[in-house]
Chain A
Amino acid sequence: MPAKLRFPDPIHGTIELPEWYPIVSNQPSVRRMMFIRQLGLKAYVDFPGAIHTRFSHALGTMQLTKKLVSLLSEELKKAGQSSKAGNLSANVNTLMAAGFLHDIGHGPFSHAVDYPASKFLGRTHVEIGSEIIADEFEKLEDHGVTLSAVIDIIEGHHAHPFLHEIVDGPIDVDKLDYLLRDSHHVGLRYHFDLDQFLYEYTVLGPDDDLESCVLGLNNTLQARTTAEIFVLIWKGMYDLVYQIQDSRIAEKMLEHAILVGCNKDSKLKGMFSEENQYRKLYDDLVLDAVGKVEGFPGEAVKMIRDENLYLPLVDMELSQARYSFSRKFIESLLKFEESEVAETAVGLGRAVCKGMNLKSEQLIIDLVKSRKPKSIHLMGRSIQDQPSYLEDKSDVIAAIEPRISLKAYLHPSLLHKINELEVQKQVKREIEAWS
C-alpha cells in the first residue's frame, strides 16, 4: 500500500503527514490511540457525539505544531530574530513528533485510569509516555527528530522554554486542538478564529539568550481579545464538559471498580501493574475485563453501561470558612499530580463509609479542582523586553478564581436511606482528622 500523504480532518481540513509518518504509523502504541476515545466515558454518558479518538487529536496537534512553527520562523526571521527563527526551523521535526506523541502514554478512559496506573505501575502517564517514546521510536532519529528533546518538550522542561511551550504551555497547540476538536464533537460549537490567533503568536525574550525566551502573544487588541475568548472557552469546556457531573461520576465509579478489581483478580491486576500489558490496553478491553470481575467491579461496569449511575449527594466548596482541615489533608491537596489527589479522595471515601457503617464503595468521594488559567505572556515594550501578562490587561481573565470542591456520590440503592447532612458531618470529621 502506498504511504499516505494526508488525512482529511473535521477541524483543520487536511492533516499533512511528515515523511517520517510511515515509520510510526504501525507502532502498536500509535494504533492503540485509535481505540482510546479522547473523552473516555463522556461519550457513554453525556456526549454521544464524542467518539473521536486520541489518534485524531494527536494528528491535529502535530498539524498545528507544524503550522505554528512555520509562522513563527517566518515572522521572527523578518523581525531580525535569527537565533530564535533558526532554532525553531532546526527543531521542526522534533516539535512535530512531540505534538504527535504527547499523549502516547495516556491509558484508556484517560484520567479515569490515571490513579490505578500510578498506584499499581508506579508511574504517571507522562512518564509512561516517555518510556514508550524511548523504546519504540528510535528510528525517528534518522529523520531529523531528537528523541531526548521530544521527551523534554513533552515533560515541559526543554532548556529553551519556548520550544516546550509550543506543545505544553499556556497557549500550547495541544489546547488549541483539543478545545476546538472536543467542542466540535460534543456539539457545543465553541469557536475562536484559529488562523488569526496563530498570527499573533511570537517568541519573547532576548535573541541571544534562548534559555530565557518564552512563547507569547503580540500585545494587540486582536491578540488580547482572541486570547480572552480562548481562555473563556477553556473554562467553559472544563465546567461543561471535562468536569461535567454525570460523566465524572461514571469515571469515579470506573476508577473504584479498577482499584477493587485489581485486588480481587490477578489477571486484571497484571494489566495495570505490568508495563508491557498496560501499554496494550484500550477502552473496550478495560471495560470488558473489569466487567468480568465478580462483585462491585462487575456491578459498577454494568451500572455504567446501563447509565444507572451513583447519585450526587454532597457538594462542599472547601474555601468556605465552616470547614477546617488537618495538615495531612491539605498537604495531599497541594500535590501536583491529580492521581495523588485521587488517592486522598479514595482513602477519604473509604473512611467515611467505615464511619457511617456503609460497605466500602457505597459512597464515593471526589475532589474536584477548578484551576485558574496559566498566565499568558504578552509582548512588553519590544520583543526583547520583559513581557506582561494577559490577566494584568484583562479583568475578565483576572476574575477567574481557583476552587476546590469535595463531592460525595451515593449508590442508588441507598437513596432516601442516607441523609445528606449525615454524610456532610462525617466528611467534616474526616477532613479535620485526616492523617
Chain B
Amino acid sequence: MVVAVEQLSDLFLLLHVIRETGLVNGRTRLQKTIYLLRERYHIPFRFHFKPYFYGPYSEDLADAVENLVALGLIEENRHYFDEDVIEYSYKLTKRGMDFLSTNFTTESTRKPPIGANLSRAIRELNDLLTPALVATAKSVMASSSLVN
C-alpha cells in the first residue's frame, strides 16, 4: 500500500526510522533523533516536544513507544552499558517488520518533500555519538525558541 506523503503518520515514520537504524541505543537517543529529524530535516513528525534536562523531550513520543512495545511491534531491551549505567535499546520485532511491510511501502518516503532526505538524515544522525546528538538537539531547541 502506498501512502500519500501528507498521510505519513507518526506511526509509520517512527517504525521506519527504527527499521532504518536497526538498533536504537538509548531512550535519549531516540528522543533526540526524532526531534532533529523534525526540526532540522523537516520530516513531518507531529510529536510535541518541550525542553527538559537532557534537551527536547516528547511525552507523546514516549507514550507511542510504550504502546508499540505493548502491542509487540517494538522490542525494548535493558542492558548494562557500563558497570553502573543501564541503557534501553529499541528494535522492530518480526511482527513490527511484517506490519510495516504489509501496511506501507518505502515509496512514500522517496517522494518530495521527504525524498532521499530521510535516509540521508538518519545516516547523518546515526553517525553522531549520543552526547553530540544531545548537544545538537539542545542547541536547535535554544535557537528555535529565540526565533519564536
Contact = CB atoms under 8 A, between A and B. Distances in A.
B134 to A, nearest CB: 10
A369 B70 contact: yes
Contacts of B99: 324-325, 330
Contacts of A386: 53-54
Please tell me the size bucket of the interface on B: 20 to 34
Contacts of A212: 51-53
Interface stretch (A130-138, A226-234, A296-304, A315-323): A315-323
B52 A369 contact: no
A161 B54 contact: no
B67 A334 contact: yes
A36 B85 CA distance: 46
Contacts, number: 78
Interface in B41-88: 50-54, 59-60, 63-64, 66-73, 78, 85-86
Interface in A314-340: 318-321, 324-327, 330-331, 333-334, 336
Contacts of B85: 392
A204 B78 CA distance: 24
A372 interface: yes
B40 interface: no
A184 B104 CA distance: 50
Interface in A116-171: 156-157, 159, 161
Interface string B11-46: 110000000000000000000000000000000000
Interface in A181-224: 204-205, 211-214
A387 interface: yes
A5 interface: no
Interface stretch (A172-180, A244-252, A398-406): A398-406
Contacts of B52: 161, 212, 214
Contact of B11 (A211, A334, A391): A334
B70 A402 contact: yes
B71 A333 contact: yes
B123 interface: no
B70 A404 contact: yes
B72 A402 contact: no
B51 A161 contact: yes
Contact of A321 (B12, B50, B54, B72): B72
Contacts of B72: 318-321
A227 B24 CA distance: 29
A77 interface: no
A336 B60 contact: yes
A319 B70 contact: yes
Contacts of B95: 321, 324
B53 A333 contact: no
B71 A404 contact: yes
Contacts of B101: none
B27 to A, nearest CB: 8
Q: Which of B52, B59, B71, B72 has the most CB of A within 10 A?
A: B71
A264 interface: no
A354 interface: no
B51 A333 contact: no
Given A161-B53, A318-B72, 5 more contacts: A214-B52, A330-B73, A331-B9, A331-B11, A392-B85
Interface of A: 156-157, 159, 161, 204-205, 211-214, 318-321, 324-327, 330-331, 333-334, 336, 369-372, 377, 386-387, 389, 391-392, 398, 401-404
8 contacts: A161-B52, A212-B51, A214-B52, A327-B11, A327-B12, A330-B68, A334-B68, A392-B85
Interface of B: 9-12, 50-54, 59-60, 63-64, 66-73, 78, 85-86, 95, 99, 103-104
